[in-house]
Structure formats: structure tokens, C-alpha cells
Structure 1
């Protein structure tokens, strides 16, 4: 079903609770996944290693709501190919909100089970151990998921503490060759929906309409929120007395890495000739002329630093754990990946002392309006 804005009225994967099923080969992971979903997501067989790569499916799991169920390969797989499967399984942890550790009742906890349980504890992932015999364990698993999900429901909103019901907010949403056809990008959808939910007034325009829009308003807007790519032109047209930020900066705050981005961006001007910079996006899409990650940010980096830099890019789940060769990482807002995965990527960078910055924060800094673009947050990070 499509709404009037042209996007599907489905909860995006990044906003769902991610429930991942782990265990040794033939412990019953795939059977449990199929029982929870009520359909055959994974092939079930007596042969070990039937599940090779992680398989995910979105669903409504009542009474919890929208979730993603992921079935994984056994973490006791062996051999060269098995080792790659185990690595894929462990990578799923980076986006897991709740883990179900399936144990074969007839065998009990193996050394591999105990080692994986330690890994869950180390990563602070809420989990339940599910012992599987011949009977269905669906109801037991659902009860454990309900118990573990109770701590996840107090989630912040993207405008949390920034806007009230009586406010007017201008949303600057460029519709150009980089914009998705027939719909708004996810951060724009999220902001607009929240404004509607709290009964604030939203005015959605394109960059060239900002001056006329401001002139027609009896009272100034509480805030102008713009696409980061239009930061430079919009900032010149919005008077200093009006709060200004970007959708990308809001996403950095929402995903929990705004402070780190502000700290990291100030080191970017110290880059030297020959330094390597990773520009990373959480989603995958066909690159177009004027693409922000491969064209606009590299151009802004060159102008800001005046240095000859080596630019590399990554997208989707293809994020390198070894960042030692990079002098900085500039990451998108992360709207298409979970908060847990964004923070995992940030932690990888922090552990290797590599500055980790957000698209919006970098572009605000490059345009000389960083202080203005984060003024609205003050201590409300």
C-alpha cells in the first residue's frame, strides 16, 4: 500500500527490532526461524550446514510489532568455506538487538555454544538460551523475545526535544537527479511524520523557494531543516536568528554519533597529502552524476584541505573492520542501517584512532556553518 507521499507505508528495516537466531549446525535454528515466521524462510535438513549465508525476513511479531528475523549459519562450521560462513554469522551481531541462542537439548551446551555466549555478553546483546528438543519452541521463544524487547521500547524520536506542537518547521527537500523518483528519502519521511504526529506545522519546499516562503510567514519558523547538499545555498538565505540544521545531522543525533562527528570533523583539516579517506554509506544505490558520496564530498574535501587525498568508498554491509590505513571516515546518516550497526562502525574507528564523521556535520563544517547547524542541540544530544 502506498501513501500520498509515494512511499510504502511499511516500517523500514533500520527501524525494526532485529532478532537473530544463532547456534551450532543442526541445533534447530532454521526450524525456529520458520516457526516464528509461519513460513519456510530457510531449508530444514538433517544434513549439517544447510544454512550457508544469513537469511532475513521482516514481519509483524505480535505483541512486539515490526521485527526482522535472521537465520544464520552454524558457528561451529569448519574448513575454509565454513570459516567464511562463521565470519558472516558473527557480522550479524553488529545489527542484532535480540539474540536467540538455540541449544540441542540432547547434546547440551558445547564449547562453541559457551564461546558464542561469551561473545554475546561481551557485545552486550540481550539474549536467551533456547533448548530445543522434539517439540515446538515457538511460544517459549516468543515469550523470551517479549521479555528482552521490553527494554527496547523507550526509543527516542528523530526530533526528540527540539520541536513542540505550536511550532512551524520548514523542510527543504531538493528534487533533482539525485532524489529518488516518486518518494522522499527516509530521514525526510521520518521528520515529516513526526511533525504530523505532534501537530506541528510542516512546510515542505525546494531550495529555490526558501526566500518566498520565509517572506509569506507571519512569524519565523522554529527551525529550517535542509538536505545537506543544499546547506550552502540555504544558509545564505535563512536569517541568522532562525535555527538551521540538516536531515543528516538529525540522523547522526538519532543514531547516537553526533558528538563523535563534531569532535572528528575538526581533525579533517589536518589531513596531509597522500592520506586515505573512507566515504561510507549504509545503503546501496546506483551512483548518479553529482552523487554526494563519490562526487560532492570528495570535491568539498579537496577544497577544504587543499591536499591530494586517496578517496575510497564503501556501501551497504561492505564496511571494513580494519580501518588502519585510513586517516578519516566520513559516513552517511545511517538511515538504512540500525543504530547498533552505526555505533559498531564508529567503535571500530575509535578503537583504531580514526576520526569518524557524519556527512551532514562535514558539509556544515566545509561551508563554515557548523556552529550554527548544531546550535539547536546545545546540551540536547
Structure 2
């Protein structure tokens, strides 16, 4: 479990004012000292990520964030970092402190943040922390006031109570199964005993001695669903096909060699790529498919954004910085191509005619869907590396056939 990639974990984010007790709550839920706890306001600055196993959910990552009311000199930057977490979260925990009641403070911050959470249509839990500071009569009154203003259920908690922590865990467990089951790779599209040939070329993204993450995950998914995977490099493709008398039930390849692999196969043999399978698990295939079709409408002078979820040094033959740009320019002509990687997805995407995104194996589904929604809301077509390459090769409908019945 500890080796499960962050992108495959349920992301549980905790929000609230400075000194509301967010870090203490995470430490109690995880039974670890994940976050620094102090009476000094603003102890948590940048979001703190901690991967762990939370039974019976399985692998999760908790995200402890800076106070949403941080008014320090760099408070605005801290709050901006906290806002970025909204795109990644699968479940939100919003923490209020009973000190708000005692100090007669308005719930403006809580209203604003709850509204932002609700916009994402994600499950959330609202906690009233430090109830031990209140008399019973005050506590009942305050909870009613909060529930009336926020229009949601409020759960009482003190980190001194193991029973309260247990109730939070039960709610997290209740919300998690749906999230875990959302991601589908290829297993539901194969039958027990299906013979599947995987073409995993050795290139700069997959150095000698290891497979890259999407390849490993797809192989595991095939095995878990009763398929029989056989892995070859491109130079052994012919030998691999002979093993199955040129009749594998499915061929999965690296998108960069779509053209070569497609020529070796009969039209009746199903074909797709690791990149497209990852896009299915992380995003919305219909949106990405429609985005790929827009490649045919690109014009000279258009601006294209090529986005990667991971960060690495630029290498010779890099797919995002060399191969894709070359393919696009050979098809369209002189176009403007920009690259971004990691967390540096542009805040303003209005100038782009198309966004081409990687398979998102390093992002969780929530963050990937957030990027897709931002693009579609602004009428910017968005697609995926594999689909873009397939469309340029004229085989997009072929490699999508297993997923989109048309």
C-alpha cells in the first residue's frame, strides 16, 4: 500500500481557519504525527501531503492546508496554495472551532469555502472542533446557528475523544467506495482468458531496466481480471504476434508507435494504447475524443498547449517537446506550441486553440477532471497524447472502438 502512487489514492483535504485544530484532527485520524501542531497561529504554511493506508478504504492521502483566514504578510500566497487543493480533493473536511462562538465572529470564511467545496460536487464533512470549550447549552445553540447559516449537517468533535475520531473515519469510509470504483483501466473490457499483447518500446521515458507506471498498472489490471498479458518491445512485435498465431484478442501499445503497430495488425484485431487507457481512468473519454477531432480544424498561427502532469528535464526525443510538436507542425504547418509540466497548468488558457494533455498517471482523477472542466467551460478543446497521435495517424476511431461504440 505504501508504494501506491499518489494519483491512485483517495485525496482527503482538510480546510479551516488558522488554529481551528486541522492538524490535530489529521494526526488523530491517522494516529501519526503527520502535521506540526502548535498554539501559534499559522503553523501550517504550504499544504502538507501524507500518504497512508486507512482501513478499510485502503490507500489514501491526507492534505493539511494553511488557514483560510491567514492575514499574515504572505497569507495571500498561502491561501492561494490552499485553493489549489480544491481541484485535487476527493473528500473535503471543513473544520470550525468553538472559539468562533465564544469570540462572536461571523462565519464568512466558512460560507465562502463551503460554497467552493460544493461547486466541485464532492462529498464533505463539517466539524465543530474544541466543543470541550463550550457549556452544553452553548454547544446546542451554536450548532443550530451554524447548521442554519451553512445549511448542512455539523458534527461535534474534540480530539480528546476517540469516539469522535471514530465517527469521522466512519464517514470517510462511507464516502470512499464510489470514489475508488470510478477509475477503470481495461479490465472491464476483456474476458477471462483473453490473450493480450502489450508493446512497450524502450525509450527515454522508459529507461532500460524498468517499465513506466501506466504499463505496470495496465498489466496488473489485466491479470486481476483474468487476462493473459504478453509484453514485447517493438523489435520483437513480430515474434509476439506469432505466439498468438497473429490473433491476439487485444493489442495495447505505446502511442508513439501507433503507426508501425497498426500496419502489422489485421483490422479486426482490437488496438489501443496505454495513454488512452490512462485517460479513461483519469478523465472523460468523450471530451478527449471530441478534442482530438479538432486537430483537423487547426490553422497556421494557432497556439497549442502541451501539458504534462510530471516534471523532468527536457531530453532528446521527448514526446511532449519534440515528437508531438513535429507531428502537429507536419500536419498543420507553422503553429505556436507551448509546454507546461507538473502543477504549472496556466491560469489563463483562453489563447489556446487546443490543449493536448498527457495520460495523467501522476494526477488523481479529481485534478484531471478539474483541468478538463476548466477547458470545456472556456470552450477550449482538450485531448490526450495518445488520441492526438492516433488522429494524426488517421486511426483514432480504430483505437477508441473498444471504449466508444459508434
* 1:321–1:348 CA contact under 8 A, matched in 2: no
Match of 2:46 in 1: 53
* 2:191–2:225 CA contact under 8 A, matched in 1: yes
Instruction: Say whether 1:122 aligns with 2:119.
Output: yes
Where do residues 11-90 of structure 1 align in structure 2 (5 Å cutoff)?
11-78=4-71, 81-90=74-83
Q: In structure 2, how many angstroms separate the alpha carbons of the residues matched to 1:210 and 1:79? A: 60
Name whichever structure is richer in helix by fraction. Answer: 2
Instruction: Say whether 1:110 aligns with 2:110.
Output: no
Q: In structure 1, how many angstroms separate the alpha carbons of the residues matched to 2:167 and 2:20? A: 16
Q: So what's the TM-score if we normalise by structure 1?
A: 0.93
Q: So what's the TM-score if we normalise by structure 2?
A: 0.87
The 3 A distance-change label for structure 1 pair 202 and 61 is same
The counterpart of 1:326, out of the listed 352, 356, 362, is 352
Q: Which moved more, 1:46-55 or 1:268-277?
A: 268-277
Match of 1:3 in 2: none
Cα displacement (A) at 1:251: 1.5
Q: Between Structure 1 and Structure 2, how many residues are aligned?
A: 372
Cα displacement (A) at 1:153: 4.0
Flag the structure with larger Rg.
2
Match of 1:5 in 2: none
* 2:2–2:51 CA contact under 8 A, matched in 1: no
Q: In structure 1, how many angstroms separate the alpha carbons of the residues matched to 2:230 and 2:40? A: 58
Instruction: Say whether 1:265 aligns with 2:292.
Output: yes
Q: Give CA deviations for 1:235-292 in whole Å, capped at 9, x if unaligned.
A: 1112222111111111122223211121112222322332211100111223321111
The 3 A distance-change label for structure 1 pair 80 and 310 is farther
Residue ranges of structure 1 left out of the alignment (5+ in a row)? 1-7
Q: Secondary structure at the match of 2:181?
A: coil
Q: In structure 1, how many angstroms separate the alpha carbons of the residues matched to 2:178 and 2:245? A: 44
The 3 A distance-change label for structure 1 pair 153 and 278 is closer
The counterpart of 1:312, out of the listed 315, 327, 338, is 338
Q: In structure 2, how many angstroms separate the alpha carbons of the residues matched to 1:30 and 1:366? A: 49
Cα displacement (A) at 1:324: 0.7
Q: Secondary structure at the match of 1:95?
A: coil
Q: Which moved more, 1:317-326 or 1:290-299?
A: 317-326
The 3 A distance-change label for structure 1 pair 237 and 80 is farther
Q: In structure 2, how many angstroms separate the alpha carbons of the residues matched to 1:14 and 1:68? A: 9
Q: Give CA deviations for 1:341-360 in whole Å, capped at 9, x if unaligned.
A: 11110111111111101000
* 2:283–2:372 CA contact under 8 A, matched in 1: no
Q: Give CA deviations for 1:204-253 in whole Å, capped at 9, x if unaligned.
A: 00112112221232461111000111112111112222111111111122
Match of 1:283 in 2: 310
Match of 2:154 in 1: none
Cα displacement (A) at 1:365: 0.7
* 1:178–1:290 CA contact under 8 A, matched in 2: no
Instruction: Say whether 1:205 aligns with 2:237.
Output: no
The 3 A distance-change label for structure 1 pair 10 and 365 is same
Q: Secondary structure at the match of 2:99?
A: coil
Q: Give CA deviations for 1:163-194 in whole Å, capped at 9, x if unaligned.
A: 11121000000112331453211221111111
Q: In structure 2, how many angstroms separate the alpha carbons of the residues matched to 1:181 and 1:12? A: 21
Instruction: Say whether 1:94 aligns with 2:91.
Output: no
* 1:178–1:288 CA contact under 8 A, matched in 2: no
Match of 2:278 in 1: 251
The 3 A distance-change label for structure 1 pair 161 and 139 is closer
Residue ranges of structure 2 left out of the alignment (5+ in a row)? 133-157
Q: In structure 1, how many angstroms separate the alpha carbons of the residues matched to 2:327 and 2:180? A: 39
* 2:184–2:280 CA contact under 8 A, matched in 1: no
* 2:204–2:318 CA contact under 8 A, matched in 1: no
The 3 A distance-change label for structure 1 pair 150 and 261 is closer
Q: Secondary structure at the match of 1:58?
A: strand
Q: In structure 2, how many angstroms separate the alpha carbons of the residues matched to 1:181 and 1:110? A: 56
